[in-house]
Amino acid sequence: MAQRVLVVDDEPDMVENCARILKRAGLQCLTATDPRRALALVETERPDLLLTDVKMPGMDGMELLRRAREVDPALPVVLITAFATIESAVAAIKDGAFDYLPKNFSVEQLRVAVERGLRQRELQIENRNLRDQLQGTLGFENILGRSPAMARVFELVRKAARSEANILVLGESGTGKELIARAIHANSPRAAQPFVPVDCASLPEQLLESELFGHEKGAFTGAVKGKRGLMEVADRGTLFLDEIAEMPVVLQVKLLRALQERQLRRVGGTATIDVDARVVSATNRDLRAAVAKGQFREELYYRVNVIEIPLPPLRDRAGDVRLLAHAFLKRYGGERVRAFEEAALETLEAWAWPGNVRELQNVVERACALADGDRVGRQDLPDYLVQGRGLRAAGAAPAAGAALPAGATADLPLKDAKEKWMQVLEAAYLRDLLERHGGNISAAAKAAGIDRKTFHRLINKYQIRG
């Protein structure tokens, strides 16, 4: 697919001439005579290069450059102006411009400047892809967010990563708790050692004990040989205990002892094994409440929660829906689907995302698969988003049928009242999903962007029956 250049100038003749030259060079051109319209095109169309005049009414080219690079930091920008001086050229380059052309430029000068800028864009993409292949999901590259809420998370992760303290990551399902855990490991002194994830909710008690602590030959039926536990495998590295609140109380006692003494004993064994693993845990449950109910050991809570990192739900991350949607579009749209229609983006922003980032990822992947052209429209989004069924974004009215008794939250602090309403809305959303999928839990979980196990836990929590 041809690379795309956005040409911006308040003089229509200049826009037309530049576009004609660049089209002859095999490039696609987007054009605008209004810099504010151009900024909107940068966000929705994601061009490969911006060619803009400097002197324009309303917003000059330097301001357009700065704001466009806030949307796409890697966007090469070529400035053109009738007032070219050495000083202005230097200032433009310092502000992030790739190149600078006087307005009496030749056809060859324009073609060369644009080709060089597009080549730089290709090299940046190649380097980013190589870095992603080398680092996988270990760094901050895969944790996107410009909202103040995520900025606080990034700062806390950076500070926590350099310590040896155990960390507890809190957040709703789908908020990216494992990505945060991997980022902590990748930015810690243990980065060169193993990162070992353990899903505490997916295994029965006996199997989880064996997976975590290992077992000796003959410890139980089927144990034909000894096996190292994942805690041993994580020695000198990081052990990630996902959904730690689901760990049986008996195993909590054994884990507490292992963390206190930095030693473990395999199932069926008598020898103690030294182990030095930094523990990062995650849960979507309120552990303090679980401690109060006797469902989680208080001593273990304080052992794993030296540093607490709360992840905000997507509905509380102002502006991040667009950023994440564009990132998922690049991942799943390939060369065929390259942009969103504005109406589709507005629909995405209006939703409250009870399944959080995972649900948004699922929706964008589906939309890319269904889109007929090179743009995602509202018609490509799931019906429940377009029709506004179930949850809506903050500030919208609760769904039909989702209600609390009059005055039920009147005497509560805002945080507690909000939590009660979110529970009501979450339950309404789950019921709606089950109804639309004929009680099929697997299909409903996929539509919500969460795994079947999490969906089961939520419908049990709200006593919902398909």
pLDDT score of 416: 62
Lowest mean pLDDT among 13-17, 99-103, 183-187: 99-103
Helical ranges in 136-235 per DSSP H = 148-161, 177-186, 205-213, 230-233
Q: How many CB atoms neighbour CB 326 within 10 A?
A: 21
Structure-derived torsion over alpha carbons of residues 57, 62, 64, 65, reported in degrees to the nearest 10: 160
Q: Is 292 helix (H, G, I), strand (E, B) or coil?
A: helix
- With 90 as the cut, is the pLDDT of residue 89 above it? no
Domain 148-310: CATH superfamily is P-loop containing nucleotide triphosphate hydrolases (3.40.50.300)
CATH class of 318-461: mainly alpha
CB 351 within 8 A of CB 320: no
pLDDT score of 88: 65
- With 70 as the cut, is the pLDDT of residue 411 above it? no
- What is 94-126 written as a DSSP string? HTT-SEEEETT--HHHHHHHHHHHHHHHHHHHH
CATH annotation of 4-134: 3.40.50.2300
Place of tokens 């945060």: 180
CB 66 within 8 A of CB 41: no
For the chain, where do the domains classified as CATH 1.10.8.60 start and end? 318-461
CB 275 within 8 A of CB 258: yes
For the chain, where do the domains classified as CATH 3.40.50.300 start and end? 148-310
For the chain, where do the domains classified as CATH 3.40.50.2300 start and end? 4-134
- With 50 as the cut, is the pLDDT of residue 67 above it? yes
H or E element at residue 243? none
Lowest mean pLDDT among 23-32, 278-287, 395-404: 395-404
Better pLDDT: 290 or 45? 290
